[in-house]
């Protein structure tokens, strides 16, 4: 089967849940199928060629900044990518197309190209924002919501990465029929996590992800200040980078946490796994998550999680309350309390429960479930 995976960013050159998803699916399907990643050429002029063997990488142009200076997603980048994907899809003679929902314009152009070539296409819905667009962009969010609605209308078959996203998608206007929307979670690589050596520094709290405003890492810092009053030896590690890095470093200094918090930036996957193994709890304070794959990765290492509840986050669905972690209200006091309670969970049974939960989402199984969706789409076309 000749498969096109369409997204505007490519792992490991850009690190994120969607990028990782297509990377892992492509890696596992390539031995038996002709897999093509259609994207901007993030791999060009890099010191190391980290492209997957057996996978064809099709460039639609030079990569553009994904985010503006204010940390918001770039509309011009999204539009440019959308305009560029039609040509390789028209020329590719694919058997199936899997196009990521975001950044929406690509769904519109890819769906037209798919119809012209009579190619079955699925849209992998990472998130559905709906009214959240107005919180994200103010009055300009009306434009974002309109384009998202158009992408929903262009979706005939879909894979949602969580029950939360599926529910949001089916509740939208112009949504596809419920029987055409399946759920396939993101996964974890148990072999890689098990192979990682424990990190040489034990952290009490770890955060892993992009440093964007909606990730609310500031909330974690404020909660840490509260906990440090009672536990002055508390150690916090923040892994990731992004537009919020300077303001978060300044906030840590202002709160008297400069010696307690380590900002590591983007680091290797192996080192992240090592840190998970020696951290006591992962904290995900984000107000918006399509899934929250770092929770699964931490679980695979035996580490419980504290996740902040939000109407825009699916991550709470990854927590078995009081067993693999805790959820809490989105304020510093409640977050501090939840972290302290999570730190007090019995270590051995909590570790076993976390790993058992993560086992449900191994990448090998995820890739096979996605392949079955591709085969269903072909059979129905």
Query: 190-360 architecture in CATH?
Result: 3-Layer(aba) Sandwich (3.40)
- The predicted-structure confidence for 299-316, as pLDDT tens digits, reads as follows 999 999 999 999 889 999
- The predicted-structure confidence for 336-367, as pLDDT tens digits, reads as follows 999 999 999 999 999 999 999 999 999 999 99
2-187+362-380 with 190-360: one CATH topology?
A: yes
Res 30: pLDDT: 98
User: Which pair of structure tokens corresponds to residue 352?
Assistant: 């076993």
Partners of 236 in beta bridges: 205, 261
Could you tell me the CATH superfamily of domain 2-187+362-380? Glycogen Phosphorylase B; (3.40.50.2000)
Res 135: pLDDT: 85
Alpha helices in the chain (DSSP H): 17-29, 75-84, 86-92, 105-117, 132-137, 141-153, 163-170, 190-195, 217-230, 245-254, 269-277, 293-300, 332-343, 347-358, 363-380
Distance, CA of 87 to CA of 361 (rounded, Å): 35
CA–centroid distance for 340 within its chain: 26
User: Residue 217's pLDDT band (boundaries 50, 70, 90)?
Assistant: very high
User: Residue 290's pLDDT band (boundaries 50, 70, 90)?
Assistant: confident
User: Of 152, 120, 153, whose CA–CA distance to 377 is shortest?
Assistant: 120
User: Residue 297's pLDDT band (boundaries 50, 70, 90)?
Assistant: very high
Mapping DSSP to helix (H, G, I), strand (E, B) and coil, where does residue 99 land? strand
Distance, CA of 299 to CA of 346 (rounded, Å): 15
For the cut 90, the answer to whether the pLDDT of residue 68 exceeds it is no
Query: Would the pTM count as exceeding 0.85?
Result: yes
User: Of 173, 11, 150, whose CA–CA distance to 82 is shortest?
Assistant: 150
For the cut 90, the answer to whether the pLDDT of residue 198 exceeds it is no
> In the predicted model, what is the mean pLDDT of residues 154-168?
96
Distance, CA of 190 to CA of 125 (rounded, Å): 25
Res 3: pLDDT: 98
Res 69: pLDDT: 79
For the cut 80, the answer to whether the pLDDT of residue 327 exceeds it is yes
Q: Return mean pLDDT, the chain.
A: 94
Distance, CA of 196 to CA of 293 (rounded, Å): 18
Mapping DSSP to helix (H, G, I), strand (E, B) and coil, where does residue 37 land? strand
CA atoms within 13 A of residue 32's CA, in its CB half-sphere: 6
For the cut 90, the answer to whether the pLDDT of residue 329 exceeds it is yes
Res 138: pLDDT: 86
User: Which pair of structure tokens corresponds to residue 328?
Assistant: 């809490």
> In the predicted model, what is the mean pLDDT of residues 148-155?
97
- The predicted-structure confidence for 89-128, as pLDDT tens digits, reads as follows 999 999 999 999 999 999 999 999 999 999 999 999 999 9
Res 294: pLDDT: 94
> In the predicted model, what is the mean pLDDT of residues 261-275?
93
Res 15: pLDDT: 85
Domain ranges of the chain: 2-187+362-380, 190-360
Bond into 155 cis (ω within 30): no
Distance, CA of 201 to CA of 206 (rounded, Å): 12
The DSSP output letter for 155 is -
User: Residue 70's pLDDT band (boundaries 50, 70, 90)?
Assistant: confident
Res 73: pLDDT: 82
For the cut 80, the answer to whether the pLDDT of residue 201 exceeds it is no
- The predicted-structure confidence for 20-58, as pLDDT tens digits, reads as follows 999 999 999 999 999 999 999 999 989 989 999 999 999
The DSSP output letter for 315 is G
Please say whether the beta carbons of 308 and 295 come within 8 A: no
User: Residue 66's pLDDT band (boundaries 50, 70, 90)?
Assistant: confident
């Amino acid at each position: 089967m000749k498969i096109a995976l369409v997204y505007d960013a490519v792992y490991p050159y850009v690190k994120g849940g969607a990028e990782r998803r297509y990377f892992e699916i492509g890696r596992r399907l390539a031995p038996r199928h002709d897999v093509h990643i259609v994207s901007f050429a993030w791999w060009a002029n890099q010191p190391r060629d980290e492209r997957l063997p057996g996978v064809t990488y099709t460039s639609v142009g030079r990569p553009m900044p994904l985010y503006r200076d204010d940390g918001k997603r770039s509309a011009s980048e999204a539009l440019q990518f959308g305009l560029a994907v039609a040509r390789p899809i028209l020329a590719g003679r694919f058997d199936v197309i899997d196009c990521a929902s975001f950044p929406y314009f690509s769904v519109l152009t890819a769906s037209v190209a798919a119809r012209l070539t009579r190619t079955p296409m699925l849209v992998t819905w990472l998130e559905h924002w709906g009214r959240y667009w107005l919180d994200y962009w103010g009055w300009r969010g009306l434009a974002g919501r309109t384009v998202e609605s158009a992408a929903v209308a262009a979706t005939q078959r879909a894979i949602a990465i969580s029950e939360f996203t599926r529910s949001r998608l089916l509740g939208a206007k112009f949504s596809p029929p419920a029987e055409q929307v399946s759920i396939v979670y993101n996964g974890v690589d148990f072999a890689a996590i098990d192979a990682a050596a424990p990190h040489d520094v034990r952290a009490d709290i770890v955060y892993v992800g992009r440093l964007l405003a909606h990730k609310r890492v500031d909330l974690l810092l404020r909660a840490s200040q509260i906990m440090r009053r009672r536990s002055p030896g508390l150690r916090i590690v923040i892994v990731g980078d992004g537009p919020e890095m300077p303001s978060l470093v300044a906030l840590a200094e202002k709160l008297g946490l400069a010696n307690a918090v380590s900002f590591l930036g983007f680091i290797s996957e192996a080192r992240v796994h090592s840190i998970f193994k020696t951290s006591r709890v992962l904290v995900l304070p984000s107000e918006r998550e399509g899934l929250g794959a770092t929770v699964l990765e931490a679980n695979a290492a035996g580490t419980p999680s504290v996740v902040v509840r939000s109407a825009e986050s699916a991550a709470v669905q990854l927590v078995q309350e009081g067993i693999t972690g805790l959820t809490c209200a989105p304020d510093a006091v409640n977050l501090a309390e939840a972290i302290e309670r999570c730190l007090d969970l019995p270590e051995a049974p909590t570790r076993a429960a976390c790993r058992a939960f993560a086992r449900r989402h191994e990448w090998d199984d995820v890739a096979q479930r996605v392949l079955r969706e591709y085969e269903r789409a072909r059979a129905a076309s």
